[in-house]
Amino acid sequence: MKTPNDILERSQGLVKTIVIAAADDSQVLEAAKAAVARRIALPVLVGNVAAIKRLAWAIRFDLEGVELHHAASAAESVLVGADLVRAGRAEILMKGHVNSSVFLSAVLNSRHGLRKSPLLSHVALFFPAFYPKPVLVTDAGLNTHPSFDDKLLILRQGVEVLRKLGVAEPKVAILAHNEVPSRKVPVSEEAIRLVEAVAAGAVSDCIVEGPLALDLALDDEACRSKRFQTRVGGRADLLLCPDILSGNILYKAMTVIGKAQGAALIVGAQVPIVLTSRGDSMETKLLSIALAAATA
Amino acid sequence: MKTPNDILERSQGLVKTIVIAAADDSQVLEAAKAAVARRIALPVLVGNVAAIKRLAWAIRFDLEGVELHHAASAAESVLVGADLVRAGRAEILMKGHVNSSVFLSAVLNSRHGLRKSPLLSHVALFFPAFYPKPVLVTDAGLNTHPSFDDKLLILRQGVEVLRKLGVAEPKVAILAHNEVPSRKVPVSEEAIRLVEAVAAGAVSDCIVEGPLALDLALDDEACRSKRFQTRVGGRADLLLCPDILSGNILYKAMTVIGKAQGAALIVGAQVPIVLTSRGDSMETKLLSIALAAATA
C-alpha cells in the first residue's frame, strides 16, 4: 500500500452499505456517486428526500436501487442513520449536510448512540510525497487533551486500522518536541510511560517508541545525523499526537505544506464514521469512504 | 524578500562581528567560512585554539586576521563569548561545539548573561516552496508553555525581526486547532485575548488575527472555501504557536514535510544568537548567520 490508489483498489468491489445522514449535500453525493461507480459502497440516503433527489439529478447520480429514508430535519437524519446502524442495516456511517457537533452528539448519545469503545478517536491516513508509505495521524480532530488512558485507546484504535490495511506490526512514534524527555514538558515524560505500558501488553501487535520529534519519526537522514538508534524512527506508520493543537497543526501541515492526499475516519464506534468537512476535496471524501470500507 | 538568497543578499557586505563560543566544530566553522566569503560576518573564535586551527586548516578556512581567544573548556568559551558581547566587541553570538543547555544557561545567567528583554524567544524563518514569501514560526524551540504575557513578548520580538527584514506591517496568525474558539481548548480562547491586547496597543506595527488553524493561516483557497473573511488568512508572515509541542511539530513539518529552507535565531538578548543544531544543514547554518546579521 503506497499510494491513495491502493486504498481505492483495496476497497473496490466491497460494496459496503454506507448510510449518509443529511444526504442533501452535493459534494457528499458526488463522493457517494464515485464510491458506487467503483463498487466500494452502496449508499442509504437519509434526509429531505425531495432535496436529495434534486441534488442527485443535478450531478447525474442515478438513485435507481438506492434506499431513501425521509427525515424532517438534519438532526432527525442523524438519529435515523444511527438507528439503521444499530439495526445492523449499515456498515459505515457518513455525515452529510449537518453540523459536526449535532452529528457527533447523536453518535455519542448514550441511548441512541453508536459507542463501542469507551472512546471515539479520529484517524487520518496521509500519503505524503516524500514518504515511501502512508502514515496515520491520530488524534487530530476529536479528543482535545487526551489523558494517558485515552492515549492508549487512541493508539490501539490506530493500530487496528493499520492492521486492517495489511500493516502487520505498525511502527508507532509517540510525538513530542524532542527525543529526550523533559520535566518541563509533561507529554514527553508521558511518552516514556506509554511505551512502558505498551511493552507491558496494553496494546499488542505494534512497535512503539517515544518521545520522538517529528523529524526523527519520519526522516531516516535525521536519525542518522543524530546517530539515533531506533526501530521506528524514519519509518513510522503511526504518529500519536500530544494533543489536538499539535495534532491539528500536523494534519494541516500534511495537506497545506506537504500537499499530501489523505483520508479521515472516526473509529471506536460500532462502525467506521466518515466525517469530512466542506473544505475537504472530492478526493479526500472518496478516499475516506474507501478507507471506511477497507476497515469496516 | 522571497527566497533564501534574498536573505544572503540582504546581509552581504554587512561584515558584522560574530563571536563563536566553542568554535572547535567543523560544521560551524564551515558556515563561518561561507559567511566570511560573502562578507556577511567577521568571526571571533573562542575555544581550544589548537583544535580550532586544526579544524580550520582541514576545511581550508584561512584564519589570517581572525581574532582567536583561548578558553580551557566549552563552558568557559561561552562565558568568554558573553563577555565579548557585553563589552560591545561583537554584534552576534553563535553556539559552537557546546551543549545547548550549558550555552543557554550562560546566556541567561543574571550576572554574566545577555538578557535585554524579560524573555528570550526562538524565531525560525522558513521559505516554503508553496508559499510566495517567507514565514516566521515562533516559538518552536525555547519557551515550553509560554504564558499570556510571554506570548505578547514572543509576538513582539517576532514582529521586530520581520520589520528589520523590511516587512513594514507583518500579518500575524495566532495558531490554534480551529478558527472558532472553544472552552475545551484554552489556547483558542487565549488567542482572542491576545488579539484584543494587540488592538489595545500591546504590540504595534502588525495586523493580528486568531485563533486560526494552520490551513487558514497559509492557504488562500482554504479561506475561500470556508468563506472566511480575513486580512491575515492565506498570507500570514508570522505564525505564533500555542506551545513548544505544536511549535516543534510545525518547525519539523516545514523541514521534513515541506523541505523548506530555514534559518533560526534566539532573540531578546543584547545581540541575536545563532543556535543551530548538529542536524541542521550547512545552508541552514549560513542562512541563520545571515538572518542574524540582517537583524543585528
Instruction: Give residue-wise pLDDT tens across range B114-161.
Output: 989 899 999 999 999 999 999 999 999 999 999 999 999 999 999 999
* pLDDT average, residue stretch B191-196: 98
- On whether any CB of chain B is under 8 Å from the CB of A223, the answer is no
Of A187, A219, A245, the CB nearest to B176: A245
Chain A: give the shortest CA distance to residue B171, in Å: 18
Contact B249, A289 (CB under 8 A): no
State residue A108's pLDDT score. Answer: 85
What is the model's pLDDT at position B11? 97
Going through chain A in order, the beta strands assigned E by DSSP cover 16-21, 41-47, 67-70, 92-95, 121-127, 135-138, 171-175, 207-212, 238-240, 261-267, 273-274
Closest-CA distance of chain B to residue A258, Å = 5
In contact, A139 and A121? CB cutoff 8 Å: yes
Chain A environment of B256 (Cβ under 8 Å) = 130, 214-215, 218-219, 222
Mean pLDDT, chain A, integer: 95
Residue carrying C-alpha cell 568559551 = B77
* Mean pLDDT of the region B1-12: 93
ipTM of the complex: 0.94
Residues A167-221 pLDDT 10s:
999 999 999 999 999 999 999 999 999 999 999 999 999 999 999 999 999 999 9
Nearest to B242 among A241, A245, A252 (CB): A245
The answer to whether the Cβ–Cβ distance between B279 and A145 falls below 8 Å is no
Give A127→chain B minimum CA distance, Å: 11
In chain A, residues with a C-beta closer than 8 Å to the C-beta of B250 are 249, 253
* Chain B contact set for A284 (CB, 8 A): none
Determine the pLDDT at residue B111: 75
Q: Do B252 and A279 touch (CB under 8 A)?
A: no
Is pLDDT of B175 > 90?
yes
Chain A residue with minimal CA distance to B183? A144
pLDDT tens across A48-106, in order? 999 999 999 999 999 999 999 999 999 999 999 999 999 999 999 999 999 988 999 98
At A8 the pLDDT is 96
Q: Which helix (H) or strand (E) holds B16?
A: strand B16-21
Count of A-B CB contacts under 8 Å: 120
Amino acid at A226: K
- CA separation, residue B21 to residues A172, A223, A282 (Å): 38, 26, 54
Within A165-185, where are the H helices? none
**Alpha carbon distance A16, A24 (integer Å):** 20
Considering only CB atoms, B252 lies closest to which of A213, A256, A278, namely: A213
Within 8 A of A225 by CB-CB distance, chain B residues are 278-279
The separation between CA B12 and the C-alpha centre of its own chain, rounded to angstroms, equals 19
Question: Is the Cβ pair A278, B128 closer than 8 Å?
Answer: no
pLDDT value at position B112?
A: 72
The SS3 call for residue A46 is strand
**B115 — contact with chain A (CB < 8 Å)?**
no
Residue A100: strand, helix, or coil = helix
Checking if the pLDDT of B278 tops 80, the result is: no
Q: In A55-132, where do the E strands start and end? A: 67-70, 92-95, 121-127
Give the pLDDT mean for A228-244: 97
Confidence label for B256 from pLDDT (cuts 50, 70 and 90): very high
pLDDT tens for each residue of A92-141:
999 999 998 899 998 888 777 898 989 999 999 999 999 999 999 999 99
Do residues A251 and A284 lie in contact, with contact meaning Cβ atoms separated by under 8 Å? no
pLDDT at B49 over 90: yes
pLDDT above 90 for A260: yes
Across chain B, what does the average pLDDT equal?
95
Under 8 Å between Cβ of A293 and A16: yes
B103 versus A225: the higher-pLDDT residue is B103
Shortest distance, CA A98 to any CA of chain B (angstroms): 15
Q: Using omega within 30 degrees of 0 as the cis cutoff, is the peptide bond preceding A211 cis? A: yes
Segment A275-296 shows an average pLDDT of: 92
> What grid cell was written down for B69?
581567544
* Average pLDDT estimate for B51-70: 96
pLDDT score at B109: 82
pLDDT band per the 50, 70, 90 thresholds, residue B225:
confident
Are the C-beta atoms of residues A194 and A152 closer than 8 Å to each other? yes
Using CB atoms, which residue from A144, A215, A225 is nearest to B252?
Answer: A215
Q: Which of A239, A280, A268, A274 is nearest to A134 (CA)?
A: A239
Instruction: Determine the pLDDT at residue A130.
Output: 92
Identify from A99, A185, A257 which residue to disrupt to test chain B contact, counting B C-beta atoms within 10 A and taking the largest count: A257
> What are the chain A neighbours of B144 within 8 Å (beta carbons)?
177, 182, 184-185
- Main-chain phi, psi angles of A82, to 5 degrees: -65, -40
* B245·A213 Cβ contact <8 A: no
DSSP B79-117: HHHHHHHHTT--SEEEE-SS-HHHHHHHHH-TTT--B-S
Taking contacts as CB-CB distances below 8 angstroms, the residues of chain B near A244 are: 177, 185
B181 lies within 8 A of chain A by CB: no
The 10s digit of each residue's pLDDT in B104-127 is: 998 888 777 898 989 999 999 999
Distance CA B222, CA B212 (A): 11
Q: Is A241 a residue whose pLDDT tops 80? A: yes
With CB atoms and an 8 Å threshold, state whether B249 touches A254: no
